[in-house]
Copies of this chain bind each other. A is one copy, B any other.
């Protein structure tokens, strides 16, 4: 049994609390939040105690913490949890500064505690199946990868200000996915970005539409397309070409109903957004963490994976700013 404390009772914290309830061998013990009201509401909803962060990280009846606080506090939370010898499941990104991520990695290694970065999309059954089938050799050597992510709408500009920009906030999932399926580390990135949806996004230095080309040492190529706008739900696709064939994951639609009228044949929109689309992935990633902790194995993706994706996002941000391809640090 892995006994959990959750730090941060926002939307994602509650998603994880819900997952814990559905996992055999996992139990939620306590929750904490900087807002006492939020903590209480969450504790009531899941029938568990509210405690201070300091109590949770030092508690003897808690084995692992989920860090779901705001990004700028992850650094401190990791430090506290490592000191408390807790297994750590940390929301992405670990930190917007890759230097601080490096410090976190050392902290966790020194403490010798399990650490998992929550790139949940690796646990999506569709994307996961593609990665496994590539690994099984079904399409031969990977040649090109194409990833499309289009959100149904942009977040508030107030949020974007502190988000680190589209490449670190939104595309980071795709950058990790590229590493997951490419079979080689990307070594160079070229990025472009535009503000086509809302001029206010440009005013805070961000973009709402972007494209990236990643290349690897052997010449594999990955193209990523991001936009903060669709009218047809959350557009999330992955396509991988290899020497023997292609594998791709289509959008998951709201239902399987098709209509036929004088307009043609129409099927449902894509699932509304990531919480709907990745429901199964949120559960599966935590199941993996629980299984790894119980088996004494290192969970994956780990802190290094968090760092690698962050470094690519940093390089993409720089590429767009300087209008040139940028090498990704090894």
Contacts and interface: CB of A to CB of B under 8 A. Distances in A.
Interface of A: 125-126, 129-130, 133, 138-139, 141, 143-144, 146, 148, 150, 190, 192, 194-197, 209-211, 213, 215, 218-221, 223, 225, 227, 229-232, 235, 241, 243-253, 255-269, 323-325
B232 A246 contact: yes
Contact of A231 (B150, B225, B245): B245
Contacts of A227: 143-144, 241
Contacts of A245: 230-232, 259-262
Given A144-B227, A264-B269, A267-B264, A259 B215 contact: no
B241 A150 contact: yes
Nearest to A210: B221
A194 B209 contact: no
Count of identical protomers in the assembly: 4
A130 to B, nearest CB: 6
Given A126-B256, A247-B258, 7 more contacts: A133-B257, A190-B213, A248-B258, A248-B259, A251-B256, A264-B269, A265-B266
Listed from nearest, the 6 A-B pairs whose CB atoms lie closest are A194-B219, A232-B260, A245-B261, A246-B260, A266-B266, A126-B256
Given A194-B221, A219-B196, A241-B227, A256 B260 contact: no
A184 to B, nearest CB: 12
Given A143-B196, A144-B227, A209-B143, A129 B257 contact: yes
A261 B248 contact: no
A32 B197 CA distance: 55
Contacts of A241: 150, 227, 230
Contacts of A266: 263-267
A326 to B, nearest CB: 11
A145 to B, nearest CB: 10
Contacts of A230: 241, 245-246, 260
B243 A229 contact: yes
B265 A267 contact: yes
Contact of A249 (B232, B251, B256, B264): B256
A231 B243 CA distance: 8
A232 B268 contact: no
